[in-house]
Structure 1
Amino acid sequence: MITVIGYDGTPLPERARAAVDGADLVVGTARLLDEVGVPPTARRHHLVRLDEMFDRIPGHDRVCVLASGDPGFFGIVRALRERGLDLDVVPAASSVAAAFAAIGMAWDDAMVVSAHGRDLRPVAHVCRAFPKVAVLTGPGAGARELGAELPDRTFVVAQRLGHADQSIEILSSHAAVHSEFEDPYVLLCLDESRLSSERGWLAGFQGVPGPWALAETAFAHRDSMITKAEVRAQALARLGPRPGRLVWDIGAGSGSVGIECARFGAAVVAVERDAESGERIRANAAAHAVAVDVVVEDALGALDRLPRPDAVFVGGGGSDVIAACAETPAATVVVALAAIERVPETINLLMKSGRAVDGVLLQSSRLSALPGDTHRFAAANPVFLLWGERP
């Protein structure tokens, strides 16, 4: 049996103290070992690499592993259980709970992501999509790096939580780019313009708020220039929007596809060259309470400056725009076309970029009322939906 003890700077509870005092091996960072106090009868192992810890554990009967905060929350409990070890866990308050408590803010509606030893891109995308995010930082993945990716955010940098020298610093994401912080720490990323005071019932991401492939009436649009619900449903299935992914909506029009992706938790950049349509996209996004970064510019001039996408939807633009999107590292590029003459060229462009190509012709008929309480099915204009996926 291994006792895993969470430490938050307060005195250890009686069960944890007894386990440490009776241990013959205590594992933890040098700082934790010093702060908790290891009896002279026990061997100390400075935790730097997990494989070294696992090599040291055999041969000891009474082992304690010290960890910061709640060791079952993005902590060492998972790694120990994966080795098939029996554990007795004594948790403390998680560093995320302590960070939000330090600024007097509820966190049941917060997203929590770990950037420690992981790719920073999905972490940044979650911070783009959600207004309240706690980030467990790591070297090269903290406030400076995220500040460069995220304009107009408020950062709370919480260091040494629960200790006498605890530090809470509130600054703009822009200012964070020019600041230095000592790892590790908890970063709270807040979009104060979208923070909600509503009481929820489910912690973290609440899921899509209701149905998807919404009716066209759910969006302000111009002269019926909007991706129809049936097409949107198929496009969403191919784009696979979810937290941690970034979707481009190119030739966005009303922004309906991008906004639906944002409702699934994805970060979204909508590119639309018409300024009036750009304002319409912003209004539609606000109406659906999601974040969409709107770029009003010709697509070819904007793409090189956009953050790298995981998926791309092309709802408008010429063959040069489709070719440029096909050459991105996005896993999936989805193209909607009305003209049959454009289908062969688009297939070739997607294949030329090394993508496996598939597609459907979507022909739908909607129930429509006739005089005398009778009905018919009225045919909508057909749409070609093509997609290219990288192997």
Structure 2
Amino acid sequence: MITVVGTGTGAPVPEGVLAGAELVVGGRRHLDAARLPEGAERIVLGPLAPALDAMEEYVAEERRVVVLASGDPGFFGIVRALADRFGARRLDVLPGVSSVAAAFARLGLTWDDAVVVSAHGRDPRTAVHVCRAHPKVAVLTGPGAGPAELGAALAGTVPGRVLVVASALGDPGRERVERVTPAEAAAREWGAAVSVVLCLDEARVLGPARTLAGAARPAGWALPEEDFAHRDSMITKFEVRALALARLGPRIGDLVWDVGSGSGSVAVECARLGAAVSAVEKTEDGVARIRANAGAHGVDVHVVRGTAPDALRELDDPDAVFVGGGGRELAGIVAVCARRARRTVVVAMAALDRVPAARAALTDAGFDCDGVLLQSSRLAPLPGDVTRLAATNPVFLLWGVRPLAHREGVAL
């Protein structure tokens, strides 16, 4: 049997847990703080694989092993690796308070509506995109993904967020909980004692009571045009938006570009589905409409005023791109988007003449390309209590998907 003990956020190792242990495994600070049984071997955790290999002999001989871990070891912790290697039935887990729970407790906030993301040993882009898209996020930090890196990535897109940096939680002499702006976090050096970083939109941290934990899911998508402010029907129609969203596949942790955003309907819908979104729009009134629509739907959209492709240069590389404008420059814009997109590019066009060049731009970038002509007719009333079909303008929708073998470092 392997006993896994959560400690490190102020809770001592329970009395008697270490009695009779022949091998104790844990971080150096956990081992130094515990009173080990006389004669027990100890392994200081560094790389996990050698420690698991050393434990194998003890487990095979049914000798008692105790693993000391931080907080709740079943929450982004060592329990997964131990269960994979030795089987869950061999584990006796005694969880402590996770660093996430402790950090929110220090602020007096509930966290059933928080999104928790680990950046420890993982691509930090996922954590950055989640922080951009959601009002209450906890980030488990790691080398290269600490407060400074998060702050630098967020300062230009959501400068109003507050970062709460929790260090050495549970240590009476060293614990610190500091509130800083993203820019302030980026300008400082932070030690290895950082336990977790909370990224908060303080205007929205006190949400309604929840039934399901984590990020809220929208009740629907492909919303009617009337749900958005727009000019002269210049908006992606809901039939086109439905298929575009299906091909974009926006999800929590993604970054989506909406290029030639117009009313921002696609940007807002992607944000409602959990993705971080940058919307590029060249007109001042269009920028104002996008911001108003995002606010009306309670989502964050990073709006950039400028003309593509020049306006794309300073943006982070996206997972997916929707191109809804472009005019004569469309093929060049699609080519730039295709070079930088990690997964998908979707292009909507009304003009038949532009389809071949846009398709070539996708295939030349190595994408698998497909598309459809969407023609729909909506029910419309006529006098006399009868109904006719009213045709909408046909739209070509092309999409390119980067082959799996060529996607670099996609975070799942």
How would you bin the TM-score normalised by the shorter chain? Answer: over 0.9
Tell me the TM-score normalized by structure 1.
0.97
Deviations 1:73-113 (A, max 9, x none): 00000000001331000001111000111121111111000
> Which of 4, 17, 20 pairs up with 1:19?
17
Structure 2 matches for 1:309-348, cutoff 5 A? 309-317=318-326, 318-319=329-330, 320-348=332-360
Residue 102 of structure 1 aligns with which residue?
A: 106
Q: Does 1:272 align with 2:281?
A: yes
Instruction: In structure 2, give the amino acid aligned to 1:69.
Output: G
Instruction: In structure 2, give the amino acid aligned to 1:35.
Output: A
Structure 2 matches for 1:38-117, cutoff 5 A? 38-60=36-58, 61-85=63-87, 86-117=90-121
Structure 2 distance, partners of 1:314, 1:147, is 29
Shift of 1:133: 0.6
Shift of 1:271: 0.3
Structure 1 distance, partners of 2:86, 2:29, is 27
Is the contact between residue 11 and residue 96 of structure 2 (CA under 8 Å) also seen in structure 1?
A: no
* Same amino acid, percent of matched pairs: 58
Residue 288 of structure 1 aligns with which residue?
A: 297
Is the contact between residue 270 and residue 292 of structure 1 (CA under 8 Å) also seen in structure 2?
A: yes
Q: Does 1:300 align with 2:309?
A: yes
Instruction: In structure 2, give the amino acid aligned to 1:18.
Output: G
Residue 3 of structure 1 aligns with which residue?
A: 3
Is the contact between residue 76 and residue 118 of structure 2 (CA under 8 Å) also seen in structure 1?
A: yes
SS in 1 for 2:148: helix
> Which of 125, 130, 137 pairs up with 1:126?
130
Structure 2 distance, partners of 1:27, 1:146, is 31
Is the contact between residue 312 and residue 330 of structure 1 (CA under 8 Å) also seen in structure 2?
A: no
Residue 406 of structure 2 aligns with which residue?
A: none
Shift of 1:150: 0.4
Residue 264 of structure 2 aligns with which residue?
A: 255
Shift of 1:232: 0.1
SS in 1 for 2:150: helix
Shift of 1:34: 1.2
Instruction: In structure 2, give the amino acid aligned to 1:344.
Output: P
Structure 2 distance, partners of 1:211, 1:259, is 13
Is the contact between residue 113 and residue 207 of structure 2 (CA under 8 Å) also seen in structure 1?
A: no
Residue 188 of structure 2 aligns with which residue?
A: 179
Gaps of 5+ in 2: 404-412
Residue 202 of structure 1 aligns with which residue?
A: 212
Structure 2 distance, partners of 1:194, 1:336, is 34
> Which of 167, 174, 196 pairs up with 2:176?
167
Deviations 1:263-303 (A, max 9, x none): 00000000000010100000000000001000011122211
Structure 2 matches for 1:138-153, cutoff 5 A? 138-151=142-155, 152=159, 153=161
Is the contact between residue 268 and residue 299 of structure 2 (CA under 8 Å) also seen in structure 1?
A: yes
SS in 1 for 2:142: coil
Q: Does 1:156 align with 2:168?
A: no
SS in 1 for 2:86: coil
Gaps of 5+ in 1: none
Tell me the TM-score normalized by structure 2.
0.92
Deviations 1:356-387 (A, max 9, x none): 11000000010111111111111111000001
Structure 1 distance, partners of 2:343, 2:308, is 19
SS in 2 for 1:20: coil
Structure 2 matches for 1:174-253, cutoff 5 A? 174-183=183-192, 184-208=194-218, 210-253=219-262
Shift of 1:19: 2.5
Shift of 1:166: 1.2
